[in-house]
């Protein structure tokens, strides 16, 4: 009788082409078949140049999809021509690569353009049991569907395009179980920020992280994507949630999803995509959902986070291993130990990114903004996760709520998440942000980022300072 296996090991076993060493379990090196990849204009150019120099073709063009998202403008009236000449060269070369190698590409004016990790799921192109590798670390997002997704570098992209395989090292397995029910005002973003705070920014390093428990199963698919997306911020190379009927419902009717008899066949194949009873995890962590509050980061690492009713920590009171990093973070962020988080004023508010710019995120923020105005002195902007999300939000009238409140209603792209276009913080500006990283300079040199959920960004925008969404009565 075979030994119980984790969901991660089952998927890797199904995609093993051949072993590359004699190790069994974590540390095994193997040649891994990769089902799909998504390409962007920023991390793929060198891979295509390498293919050209070597005279190679793309092994399976239909297994790749390209989306312009990193450097494009998000201006409401943007055109096909980027305002920045270097950005335009990257976009033009990306389009040429699609034409020359037979890969479908969504340019900046394509009706389905958007942030890659928002676009692929809404197409129905991410289904359970796949291996998806791409040149972006937040490829972990696809774990929400029970697929192994992970980020790769440029040379790996070239190898993948040429062979549809990658040399791969099997990871250790870790499971975080969040049981119970979250309180009102607590979102998927707060759940994953609480996990990162609990285990640290390197807490899942070297592991495939499976997320389980009542609170995770209760999330919609978009919330599950938020959790898997940010799992990389605690070092997880892969994040996974067991697929269930909610995944099937989400896929139903999407343009690239299986349909009819093909879907029924797939459903039978997906039926055993779960960790077996008795499967061994190298590490287990349990968190009570009732202990999670709306979260906000105070420092320059995603694990430097606290419940919104907390205060900036005193480095002297922290464990010695954390003290130096805390002192540097507090200095960079321009804060004072003991200062209440809700006393921290902001200059900017941003809702966007592959973490939190889907339709449910926009609805949650709009609920807070309805009938309210952005505080004087705060510049607030929203970049929907995709052009599809933007259209759907407009059909519901959400754009009118955002603009009436004083938010800029922009086009889709990575935007202020990583400041590769003209959406950039000025030195010293402080931003309440629904994004995924608060590193020094992430949103612009000298910019200061506080991560939180979209509803918390909306609460901060109308308050002019970090604010507790639980104390914002809905109209």
Whether residue 183 contacts residue 280, with contact meaning beta carbons closer than 8 Å, is answered with no
pLDDT at position 317 is 96
Whether residue 157 contacts residue 137, with contact meaning beta carbons closer than 8 Å, is answered with no
pLDDT at position 2 is 78
Residue 151 β-bridge partners: 134
What is the C-alpha to C-alpha distance for residues 432 and 226, in angstroms, rounded to an integer?
A: 17
Torsion (CA) 85, 89, 90, 94 in degrees, nearest 10: 150
Angle, alpha carbons 359-363-368 (nearest 5°): 150
Residue 38 β-bridge partners: 65
Whether residue 74 contacts residue 417, with contact meaning beta carbons closer than 8 Å, is answered with no
pLDDT at position 11 is 98
Owner of token pair 């289904």? 127
Q: For 285-326, what is each residue's pLDDT tens digit?
A: 999 999 999 999 999 999 999 999 999 999 999 999 999 999
Cα–Cα distances in Å, from 305 out to 84, 111, 312, 381?
35, 37, 9, 23
What is the C-alpha to C-alpha distance for residues 216 and 234, in angstroms, rounded to an integer?
A: 17
> Is the predicted pLDDT of residue 354 greater than 80, yes or no?
yes
> Is the predicted pLDDT of residue 196 greater than 80, yes or no?
yes
pLDDT at position 298 is 98
> Is the predicted pLDDT of residue 475 greater than 80, yes or no?
no
How much of the chain, in percent, has pLDDT values that exceed 70?
100
How far is the first Cα of the chain from the last one, in angstroms, to the nearest whole number?
A: 59
Whether residue 449 contacts residue 299, with contact meaning beta carbons closer than 8 Å, is answered with no
> Is the predicted pLDDT of residue 474 greater than 80, yes or no?
no
Q: For 136-190, what is each residue's pLDDT tens digit?
A: 999 999 999 999 999 999 999 999 999 999 999 999 999 999 999 999 999 999 9
pLDDT at position 50 is 97
258: closest CA among 455, 126, 159? 126
Answer whether 0.95 is exceeded by the pTM.
yes
Whether residue 4 contacts residue 277, with contact meaning beta carbons closer than 8 Å, is answered with yes
What is the spatial order of strands in the sheet that 29-33 belongs to? 16-19, 29-33, 165-169
pLDDT at position 224 is 98
Q: For 212-269, what is each residue's pLDDT tens digit?
A: 999 999 999 999 999 999 999 999 999 999 999 999 999 999 999 999 999 999 999 9
> Is the predicted pLDDT of residue 13 greater than 90, yes or no?
yes
Burial (CB count within 10 angstroms: exposed 0-12, middle 13-18, buried 19+), residue 53: exposed
205's torsion region: left (phi>0), alpha (psi -120 to 50) or beta? beta
Largest CA distance in the chain: 67
pLDDT at position 473 is 78
Q: Is 354 annotated as a binding residue?
A: yes
Q: What per-residue string of b and e applies to 191-229 under the rule 16 or more CB within 10 Å gives b? A: bbbbbbbbbbbebbeebbbbbbbebbeebebbbbbbbbb
Q: For 85-126, what is each residue's pLDDT tens digit?
A: 999 999 999 999 999 999 999 999 999 999 999 999 999 999
SS3 29: strand
Q: Is 417 annotated as a binding residue?
A: yes
> Is the predicted pLDDT of residue 1 greater than 90, yes or no?
no
Q: For 440-459, what is each residue's pLDDT tens digit?
A: 999 999 999 999 999 999 99
Give the torsion sign (CA, 248, 388, 45, 48).
Answer: positive
Q: Is 228 annotated as a binding residue?
A: no
Burial (CB count within 10 angstroms: exposed 0-12, middle 13-18, buried 19+), residue 425: buried
How much of the chain, in percent, has pLDDT values that exceed 90?
98
> Is the predicted pLDDT of residue 401 greater than 90, yes or no?
yes
pLDDT at position 393 is 98
């Amino acid at each position: 009788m075979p030994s119980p296996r984790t969901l991660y090991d089952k998927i890797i076993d199904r995609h093993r082409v051949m072993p590359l060493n004699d190790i069994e379990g974590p540390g095994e090196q193997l040649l891994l078949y990769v089902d799909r990849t998504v390409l962007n204009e920023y991390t793929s150019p060198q891979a295509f140049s390498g293919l050209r120099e070597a005279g190679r073709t793309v092994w399976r063009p239909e297994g790749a999809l390209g989306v312009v998202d990193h450097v494009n403008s998000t201006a409401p009236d943007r055109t096909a021509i980027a305002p920045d000449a270097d950005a335009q060269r990257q976009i033009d070369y990306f389009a040429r690569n699609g034409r020359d190698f037979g890969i479908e590409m969504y340019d900046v004016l394509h009706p389905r353009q958007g942030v890659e990790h928002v676009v692929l799921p809404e197409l129905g192109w991410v289904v359970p049991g796949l291996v998806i590798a791409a040149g972006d670390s937040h490829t972990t997002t696809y774990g929400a569907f029970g697929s192994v997704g992970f980020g790769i570098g440029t040379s790996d992209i070239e190898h993948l395009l040429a062979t549809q395989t990658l040399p791969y090292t099997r990871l250790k397995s870790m499971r975080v179980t969040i049981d119970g029910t979250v309180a009102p005002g607590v979102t998927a973003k707060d759940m994953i920020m609480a996990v990162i705070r609990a285990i640290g920014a390197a807490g899942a390093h070297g592991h495939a992280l499976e997320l389980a428990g009542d609170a995770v199963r209760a999330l919609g698919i978009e919330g599950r994507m938020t959790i898997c997306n940010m799992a990389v911020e605690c070092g997880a190379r892969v994040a996974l949630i067991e697929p269930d009927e909610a995944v099937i419902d989400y896929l139903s009717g999407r343009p690239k999803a299986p349909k009819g008899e093909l879907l029924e066949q797939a459903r039978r194949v997906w039926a055993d995509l779960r960790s077996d009873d008795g499967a061994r995890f190298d590490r287990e962590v349990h968190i009570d959902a009732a202990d999670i509050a709306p979260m906000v980061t105070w420092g320059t690492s995603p694990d430097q986070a606290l419940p919104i009713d907390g205060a900036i920590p005193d480095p002297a009171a922290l464990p010695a291993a954390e003290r130096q990093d805390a002192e540097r973070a507090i200095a960079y962020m321009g804060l004072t130990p003991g200062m209440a988080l809700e006393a921290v004023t902001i200059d900017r508010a941003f809702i966007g990114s592959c973490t939190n710019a889907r339709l449910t995120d926009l609805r949650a923020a709009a609920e807070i903004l309805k009938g309210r105005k952005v505080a004087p002195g705060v510049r607030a902007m929203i970049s929907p996760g995709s052009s599809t999300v933007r259209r759907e939000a407009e059909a519901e009238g959400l754009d009118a709520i955002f603009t009436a409140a004083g938010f800029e209603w922009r086009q889709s792209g990575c935007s202020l998440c990583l400041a590769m276009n003209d959406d950039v913080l000025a030195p010293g500006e402080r931003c309440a942000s629904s994004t995924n990283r608060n590193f020094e300079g992430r949103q612009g040199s000298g910019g200061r980022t506080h991560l939180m959920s979209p509803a918390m960004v909306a609460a901060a925008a109308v308050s002019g300072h970090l604010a507790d969404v639980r104390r914002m009565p809905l109209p």
